[in-house]
Structure 1
Amino acid sequence: MTSARRIALLALPLAALGGGLLAGEGAASPTGNEERAAVAPVKFVTANVPFGLSAKKARAQVKHVMSARPDVMVLQEVRHRDVQALVDGLSPKGTWKVFQPDRAKGASAVAWNRKRFEPVGQGSRVAFRSKAYDRHLLWAALKDVRTERVYTAVGLHYPPNASKDPAMRDLYVTMNGNYRKLVGELRGKGRHPVVGGDWNHPLDVRREPWSPVPVNRRLGMTTNWLQGTPCSSGTSARGGRIDGFAFDKSWTVLRDQGCMKRLHSDHRPVHMSVVSKEK
């Protein structure tokens, strides 16, 4: 058999396949769902940037938080600080987008990596008002541009000393009511919140009926502390596992978590990585 004839015969099976194998057709390829499942989890971090810090120390604190390489940051006690300017000064401009509405005294700021997310909704509401200060609840619904999964980050900071001070307890209970309303409204829009903040109350045990563990359970939510232990010690320098996250584990899967050192804060930043089941 001549060489030309052998080549022609070998080519027949390939021709019968219409060139499919050569073009990559018929080869195993991941489905859309498989591709989405393979995408890395989203890393959240919640941290206090104490309002009494100097500008230099506040910058160092935010830089410390960013060293965890989060996708989403929820920052508390930012008050008068320009968080957008802070993160722009610590990374290439345009990397981060910050939601920090005006007059959200003592409230949180939510920041996200613009290369990974685009916002599809955001808002702010009063958590409580008092003669001394106000607190707000912030939220931002963020669509992962690669998977189209939506992660709704909520930032909050509850009042301190509510177990001992009746006035603080009243503010805490008032904030609970507004928190429940917000979660209900977000769910009504198909959003399933990942709530990060300084809860100023334990996230690993039930205490009073109005404390975070029972309140979140009544909402069908859990805390990251009830799903594992990010650090063996408390997050506050005064004790207590009071910083962290709440989420609905039927929609959000916790992959891993941990605590960072305090640096210039009296609270340890807490981070966790999650995957949404939405898509």
Structure 2
Amino acid sequence: MTDKTTGAHGSVREDTAPDGDRPLIELRSAGKSYGNIRALHGVDLTVHPSKVTCVLGDNGAGKSTLIKIISGLHQHTEGEFLVDGEPVRFSTPREALDKGIATVYQDLAVVPLMPVWRNFFLGSEMTKGPWPVRRLDIDRMKRTADEELRNMGIVLDDLEQPIGTLSGGQRQCVAIARAVYFGARVLILDEPTAALGVKQSGVVLKYIAMARDRGLGVIFITHNPHHAYMVGDHFSVLRLGTMELSADRGEVGLEELTNHMAGGAELAALKHELAQVGGVDTEELPEEGDLQAPVAATPEGKS
């Protein structure tokens, strides 16, 4: 990998080998309240190196609050948050970045009219020359951006093209490569496939798998169980701020995961009411009790 010294923020964190299978980050009975509103409660989440942890949930399930706690935007008000086994309480996202926790939000935080290489180093530009007449090291930034993108399997013909001209999947992949280059050990991806078609979603899923293969712990936030099951090693389903399901890949199937994500338990409870509505076929709806997960109950006993 190339020399990672930047002009704006000093030396970039170098890659560190994971200490065995020790979790990179852990949430233990974590929660977050905004006054009288409890957004999260009793959430347990563990992220290991070289694993993709998928967090699924419908709108209002608490996914955004979870991201904000891990990324340092908000602080938890219940439970514990550990990084490398040490309790932490981030005050700013910069503190999370210093610990190697990078977040790629759905809007990507890019400047559409700027070239790809400028967006790659946006806020962390390389400079050269003596102070106070230091200037941007454009050649080095272009060379480094091209090399790092190629390391992730992303080949662009022209790094001078505005990043806004790339497809949605390509922009997501550039953001992932940028986070990897700047020393991310934990990569949080906020709904990266939400606004993409099937082909572009496949491109993003490919690079999620590549980030995992490079030793990162990936948190894949999504509402699409099919996308999650393609790359996930562990699945956590949030519902109304609590963890409804937490299971490894070998402990849960796609159908069960989809049922939990779609609110199958609520559908089962309403089956008898739907049966009274003319023209509604309820034969294929689940019965109550059919969706009890055989594993992965949370400490509160939810499944």
The verdict on a shared fold, with TM-score over 0.5 as the criterion, is no
Higher relative CO (Cα under 8 Å, sequence separation at least 6) belongs to 2
TM-score (norm 2): 0.31
Structure possessing the higher radius of gyration over alpha carbons: 1
> Of Structure 1 and Structure 2, which has the larger fraction of its residues in helix?
2
